[in-house]
Amino acid sequence: MSTAIWLLRREFWENRAIWMIPAVIGGCMILIALFGRVDLMSISAQVPRQAVGGGFLLAVGATFFVVMSVYSTWYLLDCLYADRKDRSVLFWKSMPISDTTTVLSKLATALVVIPAVYFAAADLTSLIMAFIVSVRSSSSIGGALWHADLWLQLQALWLYMIVTTALWYLPIAAYLLVVSAWARRAVMLWSILPPLALVLIERWFFDGHVIASKIGERLLGYPAQAFRDDPGSSSWVTTVVDDDAITTPASIWGFFNAGGFFSSADTWIGAAAGVALIACAVQLRTRRTEI
Amino acid sequence: MPALIEASDLTKKYGAHVALDRANFSVEAGRIVGLIGPNGAGKTTALRAILGLTAYEGQLKVLGHEPFRERTALMHDACFIADVAVLPGWLRVDHAIDFVAGVHPRFRRDRALALLAKADITGERRMRELSKGMKTQVHLALTMAIDAKLLVLDEPTLGLDILARRAFYDALVNDYMDETRTILITTHQVEEVENLLTDVLFIDKGRIVLDSSLDDIATRYAAVAVAADNLDAARAEKPFHERPMLGKVVLYYEQPNLTKLASLGEVHALNVADLFVAKLSGGAE
Choosing among A5, A11, A94, which should be mutated to test the B contact, i.e. which has the most B CBs within 10 A?
A94
Whether the per-residue pLDDT at A44 is higher than 80: the answer is no
Q: Which of B92, B98, B104 sits opposite A96 (nearest CB)?
A: B104
Whether the per-residue pLDDT at A257 is higher than 80: the answer is yes
Range from A147-156, A229-238, B104-113, B167-176 that averages highest in pLDDT: B104-113
At residue A134, the pLDDT reads 80
Instruction: Mean pLDDT check: name the lowest of A141-145, A164-168, B79-83.
Output: A141-145
Q: How many CA atoms lie within 13 A of B263 on its CB side?
A: 5
At residue B192, the pLDDT reads 80
What is the pLDDT of chain A when averaged over all its residues?
87
DSSP-derived 3-state class of residue B42:
coil
Instruction: Please state the ipTM of this predicted complex.
Output: 0.87
Contact B80 A94 (CB under 8 A): yes
**Comparison of pLDDT for B133 and B31, the residue scoring more:** B31
**Comparison of pLDDT for A240 and A208, the residue scoring more:** A208
Entry field: residues in chain A: 291
Contact A95 B103 (CB under 8 A): yes
DSSP conformation class of A112:
I
Show residues of chain A in contact with B100, CB under 8 Å.
95
**Comparison of pLDDT for B268 and A138, the residue scoring more:** B268
Share of chain B above pLDDT 70, in %: 98
- What average pLDDT does the segment A275-288 reach? 95
Question: What distance in Å separates residue B152's CA from the closest CA in chain A?
Answer: 10
- What average pLDDT does the segment B25-38 reach? 91
Using an 8 Å CB-CB cutoff, list residues of chain B that contact chain A. 48, 51, 53-55, 68, 71-73, 75-76, 79-83, 86-92, 95, 98-100, 102-105, 139, 143
Burial B82-115 (b: 16+ CB within 10 A, else e): bbbbbbbebbbbebbbbbbbbbbeebeeebbeeb
At residue B27, the pLDDT reads 93
At residue A290, the pLDDT reads 72
Whether the per-residue pLDDT at A146 is higher than 90: the answer is no
Q: Confidence band (pLDDT; 50, 70, 90) for A15? A: very high
Contact A13 B82 (CB under 8 A): no
At residue A45, the pLDDT reads 56
Show residues of chain B in contact with A2, CB under 8 Å.
102-103
pLDDT, tens only, B72-99: 999 999 999 887 668 999 999 999 999 9
**Comparison of pLDDT for B184 and A250, the residue scoring more:** B184
Measure the CA–CA gap between A105 and A278, rounded to whole angstroms: 12
Chain A nearest-CA residue for B51: A94
Neighbours of B263 (CB within 10 A): 12
pLDDT, tens only, B199-248: 999 998 899 988 989 888 888 888 888 888 888 888 888 888 888 888 88
pLDDT, tens only, A180-206: 999 998 999 999 999 999 989 988 888
Domain that holds residue A171: 2-287
Domain B5-205, CATH among 3.30.830.10, 3.40.50.300, 3.10.180.10, 2.60.120.560: 3.40.50.300
- What average pLDDT does the segment B41-69 reach? 92
Contact B53 A289 (CB under 8 A): yes
Provide the number of structural domains found in chain A. Answer: 1
Across the strands, what pairs with B59? B8
Show residues of chain A in contact with B48, CB under 8 Å.
289
Contact B72 A97 (CB under 8 A): yes
Whether the pTM exceeds 0.80: the reply is: yes
